[in-house]
Amino acid sequence: MTDTLAAYLDAALTSRRSDRQQRLNHIGVAVAAGSGSGSGSHIVSAVLHASPAFAAGLLRGDRPVSVNGAPYHPVYSFNPEPPAVPEPDHRSFRLVFERSGEQREVELRPVFNNLLDSYRSAVEPSVRQFNMGNKVVGYVRLWGVSRNANDLIMLQGVLAGFRNTSSLIVDLRHAAGYLAEEHLALFLPADRNDYYSSPMALIIDQTTTGRAESFARQLAILDRVTTIGATTPGGFHPDFTVPWPLASSTPGDPQFEAALALLGGLI
């Protein structure tokens, strides 16, 4: 049993066999190391749409402190330590976390799933449409896409729902999975007029890696695509740099807001 959420996600991504994609109880967050070794030593770097953490109102930048009175651990707060194997735990847990120096408490119930499937399940709930005057801007966060044909069908359906939008924001932060040629084709000119052809903004940052980074590079070749955010680990620089440090106290999401403002000027 691994002791980090990133290791569980990596195991799910690299194993072709479902029986090796070990499931665990989790609340739907990604965490990074915070300062110190005690309270607040983890910081939430992302919250999956439609996850227990999302429903409980957790935000990027929150610092989990304790679960049911014991120090927070991203894996062991909701699962037994080795050599025990995780099994579904349907209890409610009390999570104490810090936000802007103030402690808060929420009650939530973890889900039992492999992390890649949880990332995949977060794509459709992320879909939004925003009215800007008489125009509409679409938004989708590609949390996770697999080789499964169902994921391609899902993404086709999502993009079909954006046919009447004036432009689209595609969020590739923390994207996991296998974004490949068949997914890219949904955004590129083809023999059939069934691809998304309006202006797009791609949000990227230091968590946009692997296939997601390659996907962003290929899309950015199009004149109608603009990249916004921070430089990726592979050295892909956005057209417009918009910093958003994890420890920032800036309210909202400045990278998303910049993408929305940019498209507002394009349409």
Question: What pLDDT score was predicted for residue 37?
Answer: 47
Topology at the third CATH level for domain 122-266:
2-enoyl-CoA Hydratase; Chain A, domain 1 (3.90.226)
Distance CA(156)–CA(188), nearest Å, equals 13
The region, left, alpha or beta by phi > 0 then psi within -120 to 50, assigned to residue 61 is: left
Q: What is the pLDDT of residue 258?
A: 96
Q: How many helices (H) and strands (E) does the chain have?
A: 8, 16
pLDDT digits (tens, 9 = 90+) for 78-113: 999 988 999 999 999 999 999 999 999 999 999 999
Instruction: Please list the pLDDT of the chain residue by residue as tens digits (267 residues).
Output: 568 999 999 888 887 665 556 899 999 999 998 765 455 589 999 999 999 999 999 999 999 999 999 999 999 999 999 889 999 999 999 999 999 999 999 999 999 999 999 999 999 999 999 998 888 999 999 999 988 889 999 999 999 999 899 999 999 999 998 888 889 888 887 655 678 889 999 999 999 999 999 999 999 999 999 999 999 999 999 999 999 999 887 789 999 999 999 998 865
**Domains in the chain: boundaries:** 5-116, 122-266
What distance in Å separates the CA atoms of residue 244 and residue 219, rounded to the nearest whole number? 23
State the Cα–Cα distance between residues 20 and 9, nearest whole angstrom: 12
Find where tokens 């080795």 sit. 82
Q: What is the pLDDT of residue 133?
A: 82
Using a cut of 0.85, tell me whether the model's pTM lies above it.
yes
pLDDT at site 193: 62
Architecture of domain 5-116: Roll (2.30)
Query: Does residue 27 contact residue 54 with C-beta atoms inside 8 Å?
Result: no
Question: Residue 35's pLDDT is what?
Answer: 65
pLDDT score recorded for residue 232: 98
